[in-house]
Each structure stands twice: as C-alpha cells, then as structure tokens.
Structure 1
Amino acid sequence: MTLKLHYLGRAALVFPTLFLAVPALAMNMASDAASDAGAEDSGHAPIQVIGHRDPVGLLPAQDAPRSISAISSEFITKQAPTMNAFQLVNILPGANVAMSDPYGLSASSGITLRGLGQDSIGVLMEGAPQNDIGYFYAYPAQFADTENIKQIILAQGSVDIDSPVVAAAGGMISLSLDDPKDQMGALVNLSYGSYDARRAFVRVDTGEIGNSGVRAFLSYSNNRADNWRGAGFDKRQHVDAKFLTTWGDSNRASISFSYNDAKTSTYPAVTKADWKAVGRDYNFDADYGDGNLNYWRLYRAPFRNLYISAPLQVALNDRLTLNNSAYLQMGHGNSPYGTELWTEGNYLGTELLDEPINLPGAVDGKANVMGNWTGKQFRVGDVAKLTLQAGAHRVTAGLWFDYGTDRVTQSYTSLNADGRPVDEWGYQDKAIRTADGRLLAYENARTVTVTKGAFLADSIALSDKLGVDVGLKAVNVLRRGHNYLPGPQSDIRYSSSALLPRAAIRYDVGDSQQIFANVNTNFRIPNEFALYDYYYDGVVVSQGSTSLKNEYSVSSELGYRYNGAKLSLALTAFHYWFRNRQVPTILNDGGAQVSATVNAGSMRSHGLDAEISYRPTEGWGIYLSGEILRTKLLDDLPVGYDFLPTKGKNAVASPKYQFAAGSSYDDGLLFGSMALKYVGRQYATFMNDESIKPYATLDLSIGVHLAGMLDGKRTDLRLNAINITNPKVLSGVYSVSSNALDTEGRGGTNIYGSAPSYYIGSGRAFVGTLSRAF
C-alpha cells in the first residue's frame, strides 16, 4: 500500500520495542471505564448524562442499535481475582454460567446465552477470536488475568459486522485489556483462600519507553488450589503483555500477548441416578489400585496456549479511517481419561492388528492405560476495513481472512506402577504403538479450516435523532482434512458459503433516551468432528458426512434505553427463528469422550431482557437484571428409523426465568459488593422428561482502602466469599439426550431412553487479597 504510508511509521515502533522494554516500578490504578469502548460506532455522539458516576460498573451507557450489556473495572476489581470472564458476566441478562469449581480454573464449565450454548457464542479479546477453530468453544480459564481487563462487553444475540467469528447466533463476549499506564508503576496482588488456594500477581508498567511514544505493561500470575471436592489440585501460570502507541487525535497501534500454562482437574459430570445416590461425593478416586480407572491423575488436563492480537487504527484523512486487526493463536493440550487395552485383538481403524502390541504392565494380556485426547491448534488471521464519513453516510467496507489447523489424536499412554501416566501430555513419541511402529489411536486426523469474509455497511444519520444501519456480510468456510486411520475414509473436503444481511434503526428521544430495533442473520457450519468416520472394534460406528446442513438463524430485537443522572435502564424484547438447530453433546464410547452434534430441526424462541442501575448517592449503586425466555421446538427429532414426538417441546438448557442483583459500595475507606443469581428450571432432554431444579448463588466482598493509613499509595485489603450459601445443586446440563425415559415414537417403535449428565455446582470458597501499588 502506498497511500499515506507515513501514517504507519509510528505504528511500526511497536514491534522493535518488544525487545527494548525495560521493567520499571509504580503504577497509577485509575481505571478508565470507557463506557463506549467496544460498542459499535454509530457515527453520532453517544448519549451522555452528568450525574453520579457508576460505582457498580454494570450498566455503562451504550449507543449501538442492539442489545449490549457490559461490566467494567469498577465491578471487576471488587470480585475474587481468581474468577474468569464467564463467572464475571453471569450477572448480566441472558447469561447462564455453570461452574464446576469456585475458582474458575477447571475446564469443566459451560455458558448459555438466551438459551444458546457455548459453541454459539463468539469470544474476542482485543479483537482477536478466542474460540476453538474446530468446535467453536472458548475456554475462559485461558483468558487474561482480571487485573488487566478494562471491560467485558456482552452482546446478546448479535455481533459486529466486522467481528472475526462464525457460529455466534447467541451473541458475543468481547474483552478489552487495560491500556499501559502513562507513568512507571507496579501492582502486586497476593491472595490466599479456601482449599489451600494461593495466588500471586505482579504487573509492571513502563511508562513511555525512551522517546519512542510506546508504553507497555507486563504481568505474571501463579495460581494453585486443591480441588474443592475429591482428590487433585489445579495449577495455572499466566503472562499478559500489551504495547501501545498513540498519535494525533485518533491514531493508535498496539500488540497484546496472553500466554497460559495450566494443569487442571476434570470434575466428573453426574447423572440424576448417581446424584441421588452419591451427591457431591461423586468424584474421581484419590488412590490408585489394580483395575481402577477412576484415579484422578488419569483425568488431569495440561494445556498451553498463546494468543497475540495487533489492532491498528490510522486516520488517513479527516474522512477516511483504516482499521486493521491481525491475530495469532497457538495451543496444545490433552484431555485424558482412564481405559483398558489388551495386547491382542486390537484394531487400527478398520484394520485388525495381527501382531500383539507391546503393552507395559500387562497382566494376562490386559493393562490400564491413559487414553489421550490431544489437540494441537494453530490459527492466524486478519481483519482490514476502511471507514468513510461522507455527509450523512458512514460507510464501512472490509475483508476477513482466517487460516487454522487442528491436529486431533486419541492415543494411549502406559502407566507407572503407582498409576501415574508416563507422559501426561500424550505426546506421540511416548504413546503406545503397534508392532510395526504405527501409532495406536482411536482417532487420528488433521483439519485445515480457511475462512474468507467480506462486509459492507452504511450507517445513515437521517437526522440528529434518527439513524438507520444496513449491512451485508459474505462468508465462505472451507474445511480440508485427512483421516490417518485405515478405513474407507481418507481425505475430506467441505465448503459452505452464506450471505448474511442485517438492518437496524435507532431514534434518540431527547438527550437521555433511545429506542432501537434490528434484524440480524447468522449461520454456523457443523463442527469438524461431524466430517469424520469413527470406528470401534473395526466397525464404522459413526459415519462422517460432507453434505451436512448448516444451521441458519434470523433474530430480531426491539429495545429501549434510558440513561439518567441516578437511574439507567435497558429493556430488550427479542425473537429467534432457527433452521437445522445444532446442539452439541458428549458421548462415551468405550471410555473415550466423543463429541457429537444433534440436529434439533427448526426452533423458535422469544423473550425479554432487562437491566436497571440505580445510583442513589455517590459511591453506592444497585443493579438488577433479568430474563424471561420462551422456546419451542418445531419438528420431531429423528431417532433411528422413527421420530421422537418432540414438536412443541421446550429447548434444552434454556431456563424460562433468570434474575440477578448486584450492589457496590465505596466511600473511600470501606468498599464491598454483592452478586446474586437465580436460574430457573432447565430441561436436559428434547422430550423434556428430565430437568434440573432452579437454584441461586450469592457472592459477597468486603474491603478496606489502607492508603490513607500508610504512605498514600494504593493499598487494599479485600475478602471475597464465593457462593456463600453453598447450595448443593446441579448447576447446568453437561450432555443432553433425546429422551431419558423409554418413549413410543411416531411410527410406533419403542425408543429407549438414555441418561443426560450434569455439572455439579461448585462449593463455597473464601479468598483474601492484599493489593499494593508501587
């Protein structure tokens, strides 16, 4: 590009300073709430009201013509520093979070938004996608440390047209990192809590590095906690860094790094029968014995991940702006399980192995082993857009490119005499092999996913009060893969395209009120595992297909906002229509955890989201939110050669009612917060013949600012109580089933029931934190 290249020179300074940054001390913790950060730029001034500041940090003013909720640093800094992003947004309307541990370290967690699952929610951090490229999941324990998060935006039901995500009918969670401080400084947080939880966090801000105009921060955290139930413990080390330079009125360039290294325990999901019989004692075993496949070390998951994001904004002239966001994602990890192997009678795909395998520790031809589910991902992409202000029109045009590889292997690793795996990472060079040296694997595939998109949007200011937005996004997704197991399948290729129109209208009623309406479209391709054959005992038990139908949805919203000096509120009515609704679940096949997708046919849902923030006095705020949701399946579910009579039933994992309350207080000496969440009944089967009961959780915090008693530098002492009422409940649906009870199909056949499984709600925990700025 030759156009205005001199504007890019300052941005280029970011990269060499990665090698020149020098750690320094002292940190100014004054946080910018940035209430309009992350909101869609509508081309006119956002609503501004002067009154009491928002001490709750849960309803910053929004201007986009769609439903948006947010939490900012005022709320985040009062919560337990161990919490992850999913736990933090749980209080916002529509968000239903099922956590298996109070500290948010385990990957055994789930989230739904307006009844739509975790693989239907896009997640961005500094504009870079965090979702898994093959399965669309995001893992909140890998995200940035909460001390570095400035704001989390929750967009229920829609995403920005330039967002690099697919499969986001449920909406989007967008994390913004705190900018590096103008002055040199440091922050140290030390925490200790229940279950021998220990956490240390250190952040250093450089201020301006020399005369480069670049400033940066670098942070490191180390977290360890025993499992709150059962044997085992979790460990997490994390590094965040951000380099930033700004110039002129609206030019900025930054690059952010987030590295996570963790070994976390898996909490076993439970069926209703096991829950009634055992309750919270349903755990993995603390000790290893001969034949014991329930030993906790066989379910301990190690993962390493690196995320890099480099957003750039350059004003090419007074009407034309260039935005570019490049990103990179790398990760490797193992989700293991305990199983058995025999020296003879094994299959590799459909091939019977004539020669016995070398199986260390085998007795009578059989041995316990660790089954590995290893994934190694690489993903790189870029979003580039130009925005032109031409009179009443604000026109945006851009391109998106994304390339990713996913190497998935289910292999086996031998165990030592004490039950510890020889290699907990499941690396192939230490895995069990066939007599002729091939990797013995249940699954062995590599998938390349290439996504290309183009978008065009126009935001039209028809008057000072009335605006209309229209846009069109075209997306093509190509998957190419290779199945390395012997059998009828080798190379696969799947390609799908979609045109996704959208429109919105907004009307400002005075200076503090807004009415908006919108219509959005979305689609998602099937998860990559649906493309491959799966084998058991030499037989194809699940046949992959490249002719699967995409999920397609149309959503609409009608909303109202009011932003006053003491009172702010937002009400949004919404409606969804789905075709080929894809619902993920987990199957157990010979000990291996097999992901599967159920096509639930067509579905409709509608409901109302509401949130209110009241600030009666300076330093005190109250927040209330809620959702009423109604869902309806429009088709019977095909099962075998018959149909299950599911038409008219409710969707799974879609509570009809959710309510939350939050409060925050800070008088300059004492501070505290409260977060209460109630979740209604949730069905776990398409026949609605099994469900979990409503439940509520309560988090509290109390603290004191000690700076005035010491040297004037920020020093805070805080105590957090997580889930203080400690209800013994099932917190969410882990895997759905078609029907729990035997049911007669439409064609008269008996369709046998199968038990769904659930997350066991986490226990109570207390965390004390001493925070000190230098």
Structure 2
Amino acid sequence: MVIVPAYGQVSAATRNGSVNTSAAKARAKPPAAAARTAAPPAPQVEHITVSRHIPPTANGVTNLTPGGGLMPPQTAPRSQSGLTRDFIAKQAPTANIAALVADLPGVNFSSQDPFGLTGNNMTMRGMTQAQIGYLFEGAPMADPINYQPYSSMMVDSENLGSVTVSQGSPDLDAPLYNAVGGQITATEINPSHKQRGFVDLAGGTHSANKEFIRYETGDIGNTGIRGFVSFSHTSYNNWRGPGGLFRYHVDSKFVKEWGDGNSISAIFSYNRQQQTSWRSPTLSQWNKYGDSFNYSGSFTQGDPTYYGLQVTNMNAETVILPSHFTLTKHLKLHVTPYFEHQFGPSNAGENIPTTGGYMGTQRYDSLVGIPTGNGSVLTEGVDPWDQKSGSLNMSLDWTRGHNKLSVGYWYNYTSHQELSTFRQVYANGSYSNSPIIDATNGRILTGYDLNFKQQVNTLFIADTLSLLHDRLTLSAGFRAAMVSRTGTNNVPGADPYYKAGNYFEPLPQFSASFKITPHDQIFVNGTTAFRAPASVEAYSQIFDPNNSHAVEQPGSLKPEYSIGEEIGFRHSGFVNVAVSLFNLNMTNHQVTSMNYIPGTTQLISEPINIGGQTSRGIQAEIGLRRWHHISPYFSGQYLHATMDNNYNAGGGNYLPTAGKIAVESPKFTGAIGLNYDDGRFFGNFALRYVDSQYTTFMDDEKIPSYITSDITLGYRMKKLGPAKAPQIQLNIMNIGDNHYLSGGSSFTSNAHPVNTVAGGLYRSSTGGASTSAPIYLVGGAFAAMVSVSAGF
C-alpha cells in the first residue's frame, strides 16, 4: 500500500507500480482563474491510496511474480531464469532445488524419486549437474571434488526464498571452478521483523510424511538482530523396491543490520539422511523387468543384492557468514567465510574370496576370523568418506559516477579421506561392526585408501560502465583461477601412489546490454569457464578383492574449458518474454559416468574425456502477470550438441564419433505451467516434455522421449482460531503414472559392435567385439501428498 499526498510533494504511483509524474504535477497545479481571484486557501492534505491486493499467506505467496512464480524480472546481460515463493510454496514440501527448477528453459530434470527429495539428476543445455555451479547464500554447495550438488541437503523448501538459473555462464565473482555449463543460485528467506512461526505437516502415498516447524524471533530488543530456527523430519518407503528414506534437517539464519547497507548474516544447516539406494537397470533389463528390477526384499545367504545392504548416508554441517559493509559513500566490502563438512558412509553388498583374493595387487592367503571352506564370504562394503571444506570469498566495489570497479579474491581449502572396508554379513542379514583384516599383512582389507587435498586461489577484476542515462551497460572482467590438488592411495601396489594436478586458467568475460525502452532489453555476452577434473577417481586407482589389478584407472587430468556466446532479448510487462541464442565450444569435455564396480552393487564415478564438444541452440520463455487470478507460463529449448572428435577407446582404437549427437542432450525440451490463485482457492498445473537422449558416444543406444505432468490443488483460509492463513494443499506428481527411463546413469562408447576409424572391429582384450551397456535412472511414478500448514 502506498499513501501519496495529492499536491505533488512526492510522485504519484500508478496502478502497476510505475511512477506517473505528469499526473501528479497536473493534480498539484491550481486552476489559473482561482489563482487570480482569491488567495489560496489554507493547505488541506488529501491522501490517495494506491494498493495491490495481496492475499494474506503464511508461506510467503504474494502472487506478484509473472508466470505463477516462474518468471521474476531479470536484467542481467545473459540468459537467466528464476522462481520465487509464489511457485516454491505450491510444490510438494519434499521437493529439492533440482526438482523445483525442472520447468525452466534448458533444464532437463531426471527424476528417480516422485517426491523430488533425492536420487535425482539434472542437465542444462546438455551439461550435467557436475558442470553447473551451485551457490547457496553466496557459498558453493556442491561437493568441491566430484561437483555433485546433493541439493536435498542444502535447505528445506519451506525456507527457500528464491532460485536463479543462469543457463550459460557463471558470475565472474562466483566462488566456482566447475561451472562450464552455468550457475544455479539459491537464497534463503529472510527472518521477519515480527515474532511468529510456521508449521507444515504432510503425508502421502508410499507412507510419505514430513513434519516442519519454524520459529522466528522477530527483532530482538534494540540489537538490530533477528533470526529463525527450523526443524524437519521426512520419511517414506521407496516407490519401487524395498527400503526407504529418513531425513532430519535443521536450518537457522540470523541477521544483524545497521547503518547504510551494513549487514552480517549467520546461516547454519545440519542434515542427517539415509536411503536405500535405487537399482539402475540396463536397457535390456528395463525392457524385461520394468519397475520390478530392484534389490531383493528378503535375505538369502550369499546374495549381495539384499536391500538391507544397499544404504546411502548423506550428512552435512554447513556454516555461512555473508557480510556486507559500506566503508565510504563510494566503497563497499563484501566478505563471505563458510565451512562445510560432508560425510558418509555409502554401503553395498559384495561376495569376496576367503582365500586367494587381493588387497590392491597383493594376494592374501586368508582373512582374520573368516573360515576358508566356502570359497567366498558375503560382505558389506562400507565407504565412510569424510570431507571438510573451508573458504573465504571477498570483493571490493568502488563506484564513481557511471563507473563501477570490482576486485576480489577467493581462497578454499578442502581435505577428503576415504578408506573403504568390508564387514562380514551374518545369517540374519545384519553385518559386523568391525572391518575384515587381511591376515597376510595385518591391515584392514580395502579397495581404496584415499587421502586428497585441494587448495584454490582465485583473483578477479571487473569494470562496469553505464552510458546514455543508464540505458547502455558495458561490462568486462578477468578472472584467474589457480587449483592445486594432491592425492595418495595407500593400497599395496597402487600405481601411482601419489598424484598431483595443478591448474591455472585465465578466464575473461564481456557483456553488453541496451534498454530499447523501459520494458525491452537486448544483450550480448562472451564468457569463458573451466572445470578441474571431477572426482578423486581421476587421480587414484580403485581396487577390488576379486581382481588382481585395478578395476578403474585414473582418468584424464586435463581441465575442461568452455567459450560461450549469447545474444538475447527480453520484454517485461503484462506479457513477459525472454529469448536467447547460444553457442558453447568446449575442449577436454569430461562426461561423468556413474557405474557399478564389476560384481558389486557399489556405484563409483568414472570421468571420461571425450575431447571437444559444440552446443548450439535457442531457448525461450513466456509468462503472464496474474489476470483474473490466472498466470500461465511456457518454456522451451532447441539444442544441437555434437562431439567434435573421434573417441579414443584405448589400445589404439579410435571410434568414429566426430559429428555424433552428444549424450544427455535432448533436441527438444519444453514445459507448460498454469497457476490459479484467488486468495482462497489455488492450483498449479505443469506439463514437461523431454526428447529422446543418447547414452553412448556412437549414438547406438538411447532412451525414448517422455512426458510427465503434476498438479496442485489447495484451499486457504484467512484465520482459524490462533492459526494464521491456514491452508490445505494436495500435490499429485506424475498424474498419468508414466513409467519411463528419465536419464542415463552411466555412458559408454558403444552398446553394439562397431568398426574403428581404421576399419577394424573394435575388440576387447579377450578378442571378442567390445560392447558395454549403459545403465539408467528410472523415472518416479505416480505419487500424491497432502499438506496442512499455518502460521502462528
């Protein structure tokens, strides 16, 4: 609500929020005749009230964002999309960030979990989520080594304020060194100045439930400090196969503000999560078994596929301290220190030899306490990975006239330890708390004993110039990224025992934008980015007791480098439109493949260097402001991504992949959204289409295109006793119960026999035609959830 004096002491506001100064001046000017015949009367103040109806809600919905919360205004000189509480609050309360951005242009979300909590994968313009930078409140939240975002660990959706997706390039000052495919930035809600609370209780199919509560302190006396603390519990049974998930999560945020633009925030989160893993089929297994290809529901001695052995733990503790200081009228300082601790374990079943097996390349004769008569023993492979990462990101902005100069520095230190062990499985399916010992050398039997350290130093400088009354904006910058890594593997026979990688990359950027009118903007940019090799497996061998040699060799240590160009147009108003053309050229493009260690159910990361890749296309989105309580949204992308080189399959075998369509690069993707909200009744509808996707470099195997759709229905009251704006909401995911493969988990050179560039048949070391079947993610089927929420 805006209250405006009638006689022009301030500008009058129009209905749509823009300033109409001519109307204010007209009202302020007295009639000429009255001025000549009489003295002006004593001033009388008349007030004009200009308001926009915002229904009272307890979950942050305002219905002011076009497209039902999917198209907030953007002015950055690059392709950029986003979503706000208007959309977030109407999705299932279990949905994580990757699931929430699935409707935005260029985004391809591969669901395994219909509730959107975990077990998911995402690509953007054909780039995997390991090539996309994730920032939460200014701090990178992806694993700093394998770059997986684990977005379900970051924040509860009830506390998520907004998400911004930059489809092509990262910010120049972003603390990232993997964002060759773009950037996703998430922010938490700010605590209220008033003391209050919020409760959300949900239940659904597959015994799903979530309980969430948040308490906000309001302003604490005259300290200028306010904050909130929240707690949630979530659990469900897997929609396919036995087992399930439980999750405990804590979020808190406290803010201290003073003076002109000075603030310090203290953000903390804790996540404890355990889930029975999904089993990934090959295409032939999917065609034969469909959704029933799962882990065993009952225990049989010697069966490593028993679901009780397939457990993944995702635990994290995060502290972020974003701070902003106004040093002088022209000088501002931004400092963000942060610390994150992520740890496992991840478990899987495996039969290992009781005698004659291997620890590294060293043969063992027996295992302590394990009888040798049966030839093998069922074990639980335990991978208790432990990773700590601390950073400091700083920047200084100097503004003078139409020019802004920024300089900054980022430092990061990460340590990672990973000692795999094997535990004997008992007759009832439980397993020992003590690791198995190799009787030959007295050491814990292991397949990898890794110790990894990383340091990152990054400097940047950028200058932005505004001309023509701020209609033309030119920006140029340069970033120098230095990454140093060392890794050791203490398994006997590891070669190399020690390996290091040092990377220095100069990263220039340029952008320009021009406001044709206050509502129309064109932009162009040229950007560069790089990614250091993903995963510790790029530096260390992986061994297994069933093999005398490494089951995985270190990957390429060459950094991935990208050069991108975009040109785009956006229009804002009642109809909001954004269109952009893009081109991305990459060298040493590394495809991250998740595959099973042979003979086990243990997934490991396999980075594959496929050489160059070129991705070109067009993306667009259209969103309308609310009209008769309705807000529609449309998005789409056309992508043409090809490999630039023939693939080196090893042993002098080059496969003719140059010009082939890249894996995980659907030609067409699109989404339709429709939102309705009259303050009491509300609803959402979303339909997504994803074209077919190749999963081999030779384009000889792919998954079909698919369509999914979700719906939200709800009713909101103003008040019910002490409850403020209570509401009931129904979320239905995958309405049509479509059963489909949503994406690839592993990617291979070829699924069928193929001739090399030289003309010979590509053969394995055993002499047969070499083929390898990819494994796939199975898309989440129908699920429904009812939630009841209210403020207090």
TM-score normalised by length of structure 2:
0.89
User: Of 118, 130, 137, which residue of structure 2 is paired with 1:119?
Assistant: 130
Counterpart of 1:65 in structure 2 is: 77
- In percent, how many aligned pairs have the same letter? 33
CA gap 1:498/1:660 in 2 versus in 1, 3 angstroms: same
Instruction: Assess if the C-alpha contact under 8 Å between 1:55 and 1:74 holds in 2.
Output: no
Counterpart of 2:609 in structure 1 is: 599
Instruction: Assess if the C-alpha contact under 8 Å between 1:55 and 1:665 holds in 2.
Output: no
Deviates most, 605-614 or 618-627:
618-627
Superposed displacement of residue 360, structure 1: 4.8
SS of alignment partner, residue 90 of structure 1: helix
Counterpart of 1:620 in structure 2 is: 630
Counterpart of 2:785 in structure 1 is: 767
Counterpart of 2:453 in structure 1 is: 448
Number of residue pairs the alignment of both structures matches: 721
Q: Deviations over 1:157-205 (max 9, x none)?
A: 1111111111111111111000111111111111010011111000000
- Structure 1 letter corresponding to 2:643: L
Counterpart of 2:518 in structure 1 is: 511
CA gap 1:189/1:563 in 2 versus in 1, 3 angstroms: same
User: Of 358, 373, 378, which residue of structure 1 is paired with 2:368?
Assistant: 358
- Structure 2 letter corresponding to 1:444: D
Which one has the largest radius of gyration? 2
CA gap 1:219/1:101 in 2 versus in 1, 3 angstroms: same
CA gap 1:213/1:55 in 2 versus in 1, 3 angstroms: farther
Alignment of 1:639 onto 2:649: yes
Q: Deviations over 1:531-583 (max 9, x none)?
A: 113345332454437x732211101110101001x111100110000111110
Equivalence map 1:10-409=2 (5 Å): 29=58, 31=60, 54=66, 56-106=68-118, 108-354=119-365, 356-360=366-370, 364-409=374-419
Q: Which ranges of 4 or more aligned residues in structure 1 deviate by more than 6 Å?
A: none
SS of alignment partner, residue 441 of structure 1: coil
Alignment of 1:411 onto 2:415: no
**Distance in 1, Cα, partners of 2:247 & 2:129:** 23
User: Of 427, 434, 438, which residue of structure 2 is paired with 1:434?
Assistant: 438
Alignment of 1:562 onto 2:563: no
Counterpart of 1:36 in structure 2 is: none
Q: Deviations over 1:91-127 (max 9, x none)?
A: 0011111111112333x32110111011101111111
Equivalence map 1:485-504=2 (5 Å): 485-487=491-493, 488-504=495-511
CA gap 1:223/1:490 in 2 versus in 1, 3 angstroms: same
Instruction: Assess if the C-alpha contact under 8 Å between 1:194 and 1:765 holds in 2.
Output: yes
- Structure 1 letter corresponding to 2:773: A
- Structure 2 letter corresponding to 1:187: F
Counterpart of 2:562 in structure 1 is: 553
SS of alignment partner, residue 671 of structure 2: strand
Q: Deviations over 1:306-329 (max 9, x none)?
A: 111110011111110000111111
- Structure 1 letter corresponding to 2:731: N
**Distance in 1, Cα, partners of 2:323 & 2:699:** 49
Instruction: Assess if the C-alpha contact under 8 Å between 2:301 and 2:427 holds in 1.
Output: no
Instruction: Assess if the C-alpha contact under 8 Å between 1:374 and 1:409 holds in 2.
Output: yes
Gaps of 5+ in 1: 1-26, 34-50, 424-429
SS of alignment partner, residue 713 of structure 1: strand
User: Of 475, 485, 489, which residue of structure 2 is paired with 1:479?
Assistant: 485
SS of alignment partner, residue 714 of structure 1: strand
- Structure 2 letter corresponding to 1:273: S
Instruction: Assess if the C-alpha contact under 8 Å between 1:32 and 1:150 holds in 2.
Output: no
Q: Deviations over 1:584-640 (max 9, x none)?
A: 113333324332111111111101111110125153211100000001111110112
Deviates most, 59-68 or 483-492:
483-492
Counterpart of 2:467 in structure 1 is: 462
Equivalence map 1:520-539=2 (5 Å): 520-527=527-534, 528-536=536-544, 537-539=547-549
Instruction: Assess if the C-alpha contact under 8 Å between 1:701 and 1:719 holds in 2.
Output: yes
SS of alignment partner, residue 537 of structure 2: helix
**Distance in 1, Cα, partners of 2:551 & 2:113:** 34
Superposed displacement of residue 482, structure 1: 1.7
**Distance in 2, Cα, partners of 1:222 & 1:102:** 18
Instruction: Assess if the C-alpha contact under 8 Å between 1:55 and 1:666 holds in 2.
Output: no
CA gap 1:56/1:448 in 2 versus in 1, 3 angstroms: same
**Distance in 2, Cα, partners of 1:739 & 1:52:** 50
Instruction: Assess if the C-alpha contact under 8 Å between 1:377 and 1:407 holds in 2.
Output: yes
Instruction: Assess if the C-alpha contact under 8 Å between 1:219 and 1:239 holds in 2.
Output: yes
Q: Deviations over 1:271-293 (max 9, x none)?
A: 11001110011111110002211
**Distance in 2, Cα, partners of 1:557 & 1:534:** 41
Q: Deviations over 1:68-110 (max 9, x none)?
A: 100100000011101111110000011111111112333x321
**Distance in 2, Cα, partners of 1:519 & 1:143:** 31
Gaps of 5+ in 2: 1-55, 763-769
> How large is the Cα RMSD of the aligned pairs?
1.8
Instruction: Assess if the C-alpha contact under 8 Å between 1:52 and 1:618 holds in 2.
Output: no
Q: Deviations over 1:111-155 (max 9, x none)?
A: 101110111011111111111122111112212000000101111
Counterpart of 1:43 in structure 2 is: none
**Distance in 2, Cα, partners of 1:413 & 1:723:** 40
